[in-house]
Structure formats: structure tokens, C-alpha cells
Amino acid sequence: MNVYLEVDGKPVPASELTWAHFSPCGCQCGVLVAQSGNFLVPDEESAWKEFYESAAIRKREKARGYTFKLMHHPDAVIALGGKCPHTPQWGVPDESAPEGFAWGKRSKAKKLHLIPFTGDTKRSNFATAPGGYDDRITAKCGESQWSFEVDSWMTSEFLKCEACVTAKEAS
Ligand SMILES: [Zn+2]
Ligand SMILES: [Zn+2]
């Protein structure tokens, strides 16, 4: 598939290009190849959709100032070190869960709550109350449920409860 995309006003084969993703602070935080076989990311909006499955997350990150820029492959990896010297890092508030906590959600819900959890969210899918069905896990905001989904890959696609974020900052 021979497709050309425009870089600096000139047509360039898509197979030679990468969508570089930039954080609000200006640091590069990711890459996405523009073409790989039949896989093609022809424009910025498509890059957003490939990068973020959730429309709510796309909306939030656009509002925060994240951007994509089409670059030649070699240029797109120069600044890609996974490091950011800014405060806050990546130009966005630190919403990572503090020690002993994790972001989790009820099974059909769309919002994440900050709940007490000591396991590994890369390995565990669920946090369940120690006392079983009659027991409850209570989030920082007061929301309670016997079980929360905590899988870190899944939770990256959901927005965080503002009351829990505020409670985290206050503690
Ligand atoms: Zn930065
Ligand atoms: Zn909450």
C-alpha cells in the first residue's frame, strides 16, 4: 500500500513516518507508526483514536494540551526517552495511586475510585473485601462495594472520581 502523507508541505511515504505524541509540558511521551502494512494512521484524529480507545480520555487529554505531530522515523525517536524533567511530570497532575491504594471501578461503572489495595494491579483483576459479600471496600470518597476492578491496563481507559482525587491531595 503506497500512501503519501504531507510533512512540511511535502508528500512523504507514510511507511517512513511516525506520529509523535507530546505532553502538555512539551516532552515527547509516545510514538505511533503512520503505516505498517495495511495499518494506516492517515491523520491526527486517527492517531488520537489509535492511542486512546476511550472518547472521554481523548477529550480530557486534548483539553490538557496533548498533541500529535507527524515526523520522519529517525526524528520521532530522538526525544523519546521516557523521561520528563518538569514538575508536575508530563505537565499533568500526578494521579497515581499512593502506596497501599489502587484506582478501581465497579464492574459496569465508568469512574475510577481510590481504594485500599496492597496487591499488584498488573497481575490482579479484582480487589474484593476480605470479609466476603457482606463486607465492603470503601473508596476515599465514600463509595463502597464488595469488589472493584483494579486491572491497571483496563483502568487506564477510565476517568478518575474527582472526590477521590481531591481526597488524595488532601491526605
Ligand atoms: Zn516534560
Ligand atoms: Zn471516588
Q: What is the pLDDT of residues 82-121, one digit of tens each?
A: 789 998 888 988 888 999 999 999 988 999 999 999 988 8
Residue 30 CA from chain centroid, whole number:
11
Q: How far is the CA of 89 from the centre of ligand 2 (A)?
A: 23
- Residues 23 and 92 sit within 8 Å (Cβ to Cβ): yes
Q: The whole model's pTM is what?
A: 0.76
Nearest ligand for residue 88 CA: 1
| pLDDT given for residue 136 in this prediction | 96
Q: Which stretch of DSSP H or E encloses residue 148? A: strand 147-149
| pLDDT given for residue 43 in this prediction | 97
Q: What is the per-residue pLDDT across 20-58, written as a single tens digit (0 to 9) for each?
A: 999 999 999 999 999 999 999 999 999 999 999 999 999
Q: Is 39 buried (19+), middle (13-18) or exposed (0-12) by CB count in 10 A?
A: exposed
Nearest to 54 by CA among 14, 121, 100, 110: 110
- Residues 13 and 2 sit within 8 Å (Cβ to Cβ): yes
Q: Which of 67-71, 87-91, 151-155 has the highest mean pLDDT?
A: 67-71
Nearest ligand for residue 144 CA: 2
Residue 81 has pLDDT above 80, yes or no: no
Percent of the chain at pLDDT above 70? 100
Q: How far is the CA of 26 from the centre of ligand 1 (A)?
A: 6
Nearest ligand for residue 79 CA: 1
At 27, give phi and psi (nearest 5°): -80, 150
Nearest ligand for residue 137 CA: 2
Q: How far is the CA of 78 from the centre of ligand 2 (A)?
A: 39
